[in-house]
């Protein structure tokens, strides 16, 4: 009985002596290594004077997280916890709280994240939190994570994650069409 049409014919031919001792594969790998070594010796590896010139990064590069605000300056995060559930490294933790009438100008929904923390040492920058968020509240930017000297300072709270009202971060290149429509 055939379940799919993707079956492949497997060859059970006898391996030669050279194939059994893996010499062709070893020489092929050594040839690739030698080619890269010669190229780096002749041409030299690309060198970037770091503080003055940043090394070019891919467009899809993921850096530091940001919790976005809406057009009125209110936090978009509703503490639904989907980002924390989607995180494979379990780097995100949050505590939800109910908004009071006095806090209506601060938070978009009735429920908000009283504390929101990302352990940057555990984070693998996969972008799953960004994809899971139904309110388009969290994004990974093109910014580098700051260098720290102790482990405790790598736990980023809302003070480092929420964008400042007067310093908005443009994330439109990272947004999918679905996210752009959800923001409106």
- Using CA atoms, how far apart are residues 151 and 121, in angstroms rounded to an integer? 8
Q: Mean pLDDT over all residues of the chain?
A: 87
Cβ atoms 115, 94 nearer than 8 A: yes
Q: Does one domain contain both 131 and 87?
A: yes
Q: Does one domain contain both 70 and 118?
A: yes
| Mean pLDDT, residues 117-145 taken together | 92
Q: Does one domain contain both 31 and 121?
A: no
Q: Does one domain contain both 32 and 96?
A: no
Q: Within a 13 Å sphere around the CA of 116, how many CA atoms are in the beta-carbon half? A: 27
Q: Does one domain contain both 69 and 140?
A: yes
Q: Does one domain contain both 82 and 170?
A: yes
Decide if pLDDT at 9 tops 90. Answer: no
* 4 in a structural domain: no
- Using CA atoms, how far apart are residues 21 and 32, in angstroms rounded to an integer? 19
* 87 in a structural domain: yes
Q: For residue 141, give the CATH number of its domain.
A: 3.30.70.3270
Q: Does one domain contain both 41 and 70?
A: no
In angstroms, what CA-CA distances link 160 with 133, 145, 146, 164? 19, 11, 11, 9
pTM beyond cutoff 0.85: no
- As for how many domains the chain has, the answer is 2
Give the pLDDT confidence of 171-180 residue by residue, as tens digits: 777 777 776 6
Q: What is the DSSP letter of 135?
A: T
Q: Does one domain contain both 150 and 76?
A: yes
Range of the domain at 36: 15-45
Q: Does one domain contain both 36 and 112?
A: no
Q: Does one domain contain both 26 and 102?
A: no
Structure-token pair, residue 11: 């060859």
Decide if pLDDT at 2 tops 70. Answer: no
Q: Does one domain contain both 74 and 32?
A: no
Ranges 72-81, 88-97, 102-111: which has the least confidence:
102-111
* 50 in a structural domain: no
Q: Does one domain contain both 95 and 33?
A: no
* 57 in a structural domain: no
Give the pLDDT confidence of 96-116 residue by residue, as tens digits: 999 888 888 888 888 999 999
């Amino acid at each position: 009985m055939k379940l799919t049409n993707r079956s492949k014919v497997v060859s059970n031919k006898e391996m030669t002596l050279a194939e059994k001792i893996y010499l062709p594969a070893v020489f092929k790998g050594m040839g690739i290594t030698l080619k890269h070594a010669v190229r780096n010796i002749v041409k030299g590896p690309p060198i970037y004077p770091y503080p003055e010139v940043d090394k070019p990064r891919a467009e899809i590069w993921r850096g530091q997280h940001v919790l976005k605000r809406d057009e009125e300056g209110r936090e978009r995060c509703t503490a639904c916890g989907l980002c924390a559930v989607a995180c494979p490294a379990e780097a995100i933790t949050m505590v939800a709280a109910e908004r009071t009438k006095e806090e209506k100008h601060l938070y978009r929904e009735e429920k908000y994240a009283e504390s929101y923390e990302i352990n940057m040492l555990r984070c693998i920058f996969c972008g799953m939190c960004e994809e899971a968020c139904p309110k388009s509240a969290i994004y990974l930017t093109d910014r580098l994570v700051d260098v720290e000297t102790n482990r405790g300072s790598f736990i980023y709270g809302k003070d480092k994650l929420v964008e400042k009202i007067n310093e908005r971060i443009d994330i439109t290149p990272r947004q999918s069409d679905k996210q752009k429509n959800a923001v409106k």
